[in-house]
Amino acid sequence: MSVLFDNIDLFAKGFWLTLQVCILSAIGAVIIGTVVAVLRISPIPPLRWLGTAYVTVFRNAPLTVVFFLAAFGLPALGSNAEFLNIPGLNLLFSRLDYDLPYFRFAVFALMIYTGAFVCEALRSGVNAVPPGQAEAARAIGLTFSQNLRHVVLPQAWRAAIVPLGSVIIAMIKNSAIAGFFGLAGDLSQTGYDLVVARGEAVLPVFVGISLGFLLLTMPLGLLLDRFERQAVRAR
Amino acid sequence: MSNQAVLYDAPGPKARRLTLIVSIVAAVVAVVGAYFFIYRPLKENGQLSMELWGPLIDPGNENFDQLWQRLGQGFKATIIAAVLAIICSLLFGTALAILRVQLRSVRTVPGVQLLISVLNLITRICVEVLRGIPVVITIFFVWVGLNQLGAKDIVIPLSDIGLADLTISYLLYSLVIGLTIYNGVVIGEILRSGMEGLPRGQREAADAIGLSTFQTIRLVLLPQAYRIMLPALISQLVVVLKDTSLGFIITYEEILRVAGQTVQVLGNGIQTYVVVGAIYIAANYTLSKIAEYTQRRMARGRKTPRQPGGGAQLPPASLGADTELPALVAKLDD
């Protein structure tokens, strides 16, 4: 067990890096997911098809394939994912600024993968609003965008929080894959390094890494359960 | 909403014209965008050359047969791992669900009752912990752990009955064990929520005819839970199939790792991964469609009125992180 306490700084740094990846990917995924959700419920067929195609591709492809495509495809397209190096953000998340693009690749891959699931979560929220609401909005003459903005989306928002939370928890767990794709220093790569490269004992390192991830997923899970119970009571 | 067209009026002539114009504009923008952001950069970097695409799609290419043979082997390895994982997860998950429901409903002397509550708590903690850890981590540490304990390939000697010896490589069974631990726990939770979501009358009736707790579970609750949760279980199969791609991290020779090897030789990274991705998408899409079809058939054949909440028959939201069911149900509505 001394392995755990001797290397606590490594675990802490890994935890912090994983947290950074998760926060950035979550923000990006919610943005992408919202855009794709609007595409999917719009009255214009080509936009609907585009949204559906996006969601079908990224819900059915494994995350590892998406990671590989990001790691191979972006350099082949001549990009180092520098477009993620947003001037204000790279002060807070210094890894965005590195020459080595693995952090940006990881964030990009997670973003576009989770965006599809966020879209589905938002759509299930929109579907949970009683149809009478939209019909009443139409009856008083609101257009499609007014309908969405004033009647449907404010109510859909509450219903979408629980699926959205589940998707974010799944994304946090998926971010562990980034460590095996060249992202140096995050939780899973720390585990790999400690156990394979340095030959430390397996069980303490496993406990340490698991604690790191549980610290990220458990609070969200408990919050989600409480929210769901409140929502059920309110209904 | 059951019908998303409820969001906007049935289009009249003006709206139809507007929709047509915007559709054309959107299609043009999409095509132009694809040209500038995807086609041109690919072409400039030589990614569209037949030299790179040839081994994958041109039967006349010299590497075609070999490449597809390797990919075929990788795909077979993926399917084997997935099938083994899903079978073991189903067994493990059923056992876990039975255990948890049994612990919750059994009533005995107070001393044993305390022990049972403690056991219940321990099981709950284990389940939450195993669900909160990423699958990658589980698979990786199982592999490393078994490695350090000196695991070797299992060889089942079938040469006595005239067949070739069946070798289960230790990579395969560490992958299957890792997948089973995670998916078994998720399936256990799905089945448990299914059993607890059944109407109480079922359990009371079973009690009235004198069945023990275990018999109730075995004869009454579990079959119904399976039937109701079938779409969620099929979605979990999709998740297992996607997670077998994590086998490449422990050097198991499934299709993604094979692709990595061929990419090192042939140098056509994007092309190979696009093709492998397409294979995965096709397989998972088919499975998802089967899950949707099953759910639709069950919803149609429902003999009891649907519960007002509906949530009683679906896995709880916290499971949504592990299954794909909430989104699947949403998909049904369009």
C-alpha dihedral sign at B208, B209, B211, B217 = negative
CA distance B222 to B108: 23
**Interchain CB contact of A146 with B (< 8 Å):** no
Delimit the domains of chain B by residue range. Answer: 1-36, 65-332
Nearest by CB to residue B137, choosing from A126, A191, A221, is: A191
Whole-structure pTM over 0.90, yes or no? no
Name the residue facing B280 among A40, A61, A232 (closest C-beta): A61
Q: Would you kindly state where each structural domain of chain A is located, as residue ranges? A: 2-234
Which CATH superfamily hosts domain A2-234? MetI-like (1.10.3720.10)
ipTM above threshold 0.90: no
How would you write the pLDDT of chain A (235 residues) with one tens digit per residue? 777 777 788 888 889 889 989 999 999 999 999 999 989 988 888 889 999 999 999 999 999 999 988 888 888 777 777 777 777 777 777 777 777 788 888 899 999 999 999 999 999 888 888 888 888 988 898 888 888 888 888 888 888 888 899 999 999 999 999 888 888 888 888 888 888 888 778 888 888 889 889 999 989 988 988 888 887 777 5
CATH architecture of B65-332: Orthogonal Bundle (1.10)
DSSP E strand stretches across B165-214? 166-168
Q: Write out residues 121-160 of B within 8 Å (CB-CB) of A.
A: 128-129, 132-137, 140-141, 144-145, 148
Q: Which residue of A has its CA nearest to B24?
A: A46
Look at residue B333 in the predicted model and tell me its pLDDT: 39
Please state, in angstroms and rounded to a whole number, the distance separating the CA atoms of residues B312 and B194: 8
- Residue B264 near chain A (CB below 8 Å): no
Cα separation, B95 vs B48, whole angstroms: 52
Closest partner residue to B6 (CB to CB) among A44, A135, A188 is: A135
Q: Does the CB of A82 have a partner CB in chain B at under 8 Å?
A: no
Residue with tokens 């779409």: B231
Asked if A98 reaches chain B (Cβ–Cβ under 8 Å), the answer is no
Q: Could you please report the per-residue DSSP string of B220-258? A: IIHHHHHHHTHHHHHHHHHHHHHHGGGGGGGT---HHHH
